[in-house]
Amino acid sequence: MNRSRRLILTAAAISVLGIGLAFSTRLTGTARAAVGPIPPEALALPADSSMVMGFDVRALTGSQFYAKFGGEGEPGRIDALAEIERKTGLNPARDIDSVVVAIRANATEPKVEGDHKRHPENALVFVTGRFDAARLESSIPEAGKASKERREGVTIFREATGKSNGAVALLDAGILVAGDSASVETFLANRSTGHGIRDSQQLVAQLQSIEPGSTFWAVGGPSVLSRVASQVGGPAANLPSVKQVVAYGHLDPEVGMTAVAEAQDEKSATKIADVVRGFSAMLSLQAGQKAELAQIADSISVATEAEKVHIKATITHELIESLKKTMGPSGRTRERKAADEVQN
């Protein structure tokens, strides 16, 4: 089989060379392109994002935490997920790898004075996973509610009823970008011109300071944080302004979160640390009613380093379980009954 053997070996050599080239390019390319936890394809997210946060959905769904607490939730949640899977072929727990959300600075500013409503449609959501693109696409335009446009290999769906200016862009090989139309257009423009997150040195530095392997993370600048603080109200409203915050955490073997906030000066940093310590002390004082709160208070550690405030918290799964029992369905029912009595 000399002739056959030669042909088979030639075919095998061509195939192995092509596949090897593709995978080596993938490995080296990704290593160069990634910034912190941001996947290379998401680097086209806008550089003027005030806040960027993300979840490693694969790590989340594969965690012991998810196994213990993931199945619980509002009634009908499982049915809703099954319905999504039936219509789109998408099982979020199985098919989504990661989610990155970028909120733009100008988008979060109040549109007119006194307008303090949130504008959730201004967030740009980037999702990677294994989508059945054709099935997903066929499920979106339902009864003329969305208009479809194909441009440069990307399918863009726009809300057609005029109620909002939302858009969803389906990029090939399992990438989905959703947000308001202008933000999605910015993302697509950045993608073709090579602009994006890398244009902001501050954002790149913040992202690179996130611990590798974090399940969830967030970085933010001053505009979003001051807005969040004012919306939370209470002691948080009186917090000194913060220049930036980097937060990240994991879920196994216990839930751990680290946050580093950078204040304007050392004095402000001390004030922020004092507010967090005060909050921790309040939790300890309530230990008589719920013993778990004292454990949570103990798990929070606060330290200052020049104008930076380091906050760490570690909560075991057992503690969460114990909290859930005291705040569980029966607890919630009691609270609801009490609220009804007050209303009557």
Partner 1 sequence: MTTETEIRATRPVWSAARDVFFISIERMLPRPRSFWVFLLLALPVLLGGLLRIYPPKDLPLTGFELYGMVIALFFVRNLLPLVALLFGSALISDGVDSKTLTYFLTRPISRLSIFLGEFLAYLVTVLTLTVPCVVLTYVVLCAGTPQGLGFGAPNLIQDLGASALTLFTYGSVFALLGVSLKRPLIPGLLFLFVWEGFVANFPGDAPNYTLTAYARSLIRHRPSEEGLAELFSKFFGVGESVLVLGITGVVCLALAVWIFSRREYVISS
- Spatial CB neighbours of 320, under 8 Å, sequence gap ≥ 6: 69, 255
172 binds partner 1 (CB under 8 A): yes
Residue 107 CA to residue 104 CA, distance in Å, equals 5
Under rule CB under 8 A, residue 8 binds partner 1: yes
Q: Binding residues for partner 1, how many (CB under 8 A)?
A: 41
155 binds partner 1 (CB under 8 A): yes
CB count within 10 Å of CB 340 equals: 9
- For residues 7 and 327, which CB has a smaller minimum distance to partner 1 in the complex? 7
Q: How far is CA 315 from CA 54, 173, 180, 207, 300, in A?
A: 21, 37, 36, 24, 9
Minimum separation from the CB atom of position 217 to partner 1 (A): 25
Terminus-to-terminus CA distance in the chain, angstroms?
92
89 binds partner 1 (CB under 8 A): yes
Q: How far is the CB of 72 from partner 1 (least distance, A)?
A: 27
Per-residue binding string, partner 1, 182-201, x by CB under 8 A, is: ---------xx-x-------
**Site membership for partner 1, residue 32 (CB under 8 A):** no
Among the listed ranges 60-68, 146-154, 200-208, 319-327, the one in contact with partner 1 (CB under 8 A) is 146-154
The residue written with tokens 């999504």 in the block is 84
Yes or no: say if 326 and 292 are a contact pair by the CB < 8 Å rule.
Answer: yes
Q: Is 147 in the site for partner 1 (CB under 8 A)?
A: no
CA distances from 278 to 273, 285, 298, 303 (A): 9, 11, 13, 13
- Nearer to partner 1 by C-beta: 10 or 64? 10
Asked if 49 and 197 touch (Cβ cutoff 8 Å), the reply is yes
CB atoms within 10 A of CB 205: 14
- Three-state DSSP at 51 gives strand
Q: Is 334 in the site for partner 1 (CB under 8 A)?
A: no
Q: Which of 81, 150, 275, 315 binds partner 1 (CB under 8 A)?
A: 150
Binding positions for partner 1, rule: CB under 8 A? 1, 3-4, 7-8, 10-11, 14-15, 18-19, 21-30, 89, 130-135, 137-138, 150-153, 155, 172-174, 191-192, 194
